Amino acid sequence: MTSDPYAAARASAENLARLSGQERHDVAVVLGSGWAPAADALGTPAAEFDLAEVGGFPAPTVAGHVPLARSVLVGGTRVLIYLGRIHLYEGNSVHAVVHGVRTAAAAGCKVVVLTNASGGINPAFGSGQPVLISDHLNLTGKSPLTGPEPPAGYGPRFTDLSQLYSPRLRALARQANPSLPEGVYAALPGPHYETPAEIRMLRTAGADMVGMSTALEAIAAHHAGAEVLGVSLVTNPAAGLSDSGLDHLEVLDVAKQAASRVGDLLRAVLPRMIADGSA
């Protein structure tokens, strides 16, 4: 990546237009661990390409993360899907972590949908439960806005996050599935899972779910002018809340089983995200 993350996003957006054959996209969807079946539920891709060709992305290091992107038409909405994401815990810079959403915004996306797998802290959320993210605790110690003064077209350096997870988009999702609960997502750097003491602390601090992604991307997407929808799939009880320990392969497995249902939900909501007023 060049030293200017905003210029890098513009360059990648140009590559994206060439690779996808779409000059612009409307909505970006970032799929977390084990979520590939959700991409299939969104329909047949018009184009699929390697993120390496888009440029600016480091090589992924995690099993279950495929470094591909797809361009899919859902209704009349041009959807850019990232199959897999860049994590801080792979040793990447915060700018690399948010490069995908900045590229999406530079490619025209007015909505960014962030999905993830999480540990359930709220006892009401069992494994396999999708939850709309209402807010987050960014405990990564990082901000994607660190660095040069943002250029024209972006929000200010001291950006307001009072409504980071769009109430409008959450209402649309609940119209499609009224039983969807909402919760606060705590983002930790990982890659180790939490200790039971950390989970008790997070519960006291108001967290309902815990994971290792999403918060930084949400901040960068909002700062780039996009509306953000976050959907967290609870894949396990958080540390100390069940008799067994945590296993990454089980996390991937639960995500894989529930992902296509969440893909169906997204397919129902995506065409209305733009038509209902943000474009």
Q: Of 55-63, 131-139, 207-215, 219-227, which part binds ligand HPA (CB under 6 A)?
A: 207-215
Structure tokens belonging to residue 1: 């990546």
Residue nearest to ligand HPA (CB): 119
Structure tokens belonging to residue 272: 């209305």
Q: Measure the CA–CA gap between 100 and 155, rounded to whole angstroms.
A: 18
Among 86, 184, 238, 273, binds ligand HPA (CB under 6 A): 238
# chain residues binding ligand HPA, by CB under 6 A: 13
Contact between 118 and ligand HPA (CB under 6 A)?
yes
Contact between 119 and ligand HPA (CB under 6 A)?
yes
Contact between 210 and ligand HPA (CB under 6 A)?
yes
With contact defined as beta carbons under 8 Å apart, do 5 and 13 qualify?
A: no
Contact between 214 and ligand HPA (CB under 6 A)?
no
Among 64, 100, 130, 211, binds ligand HPA (CB under 6 A): 211
182 is catalytic: no
Among 71, 127, 214, 235, binds ligand HPA (CB under 6 A): 235
Structure tokens belonging to residue 56: 């600016």
Secondary structure (3-state) at 218: helix
65-84 mask for ligand HPA (x: CB under 6 A)?
Answer: --------------------
Burial class (CB in 10 A: 0-12, 13-18, 19+), 171: exposed
- Given 90, 149, 194, 227, the catalytic residue: 194
Phi, psi of 232 (to 5 degrees): -110, 130
Contact between 224 and ligand HPA (CB under 6 A)?
no
Q: How far is the CB of 94 from ligand HPA (least distance, A)?
A: 18
With contact defined as beta carbons under 8 Å apart, do 19 and 53 qualify?
A: yes
Residue 166 CA from chain centroid, whole number: 14
Q: Of 9-17, 38-46, 103-111, 231-239, which part binds ligand HPA (CB under 6 A)?
A: 231-239
Q: How far is the CB of 256 from ligand HPA (least distance, A)?
A: 13
263 — alpha (psi -120 to 50), left (phi > 0) or beta?
A: alpha
Q: Measure the CA–CA gap between 46 and 207, rounded to whole angstroms.
A: 39
Nearer to ligand HPA by C-beta: 28 or 188?
188
Torsion of CA 80, 86, 88, 89, to 10 degrees: 140
Which spans of this chain sit near ligand HPA (rule: CB under 6 A)? 117-119, 193-194, 210-212, 235-236, 238, 246, 251
Mind telling me the catalytic residues?
Answer: 194
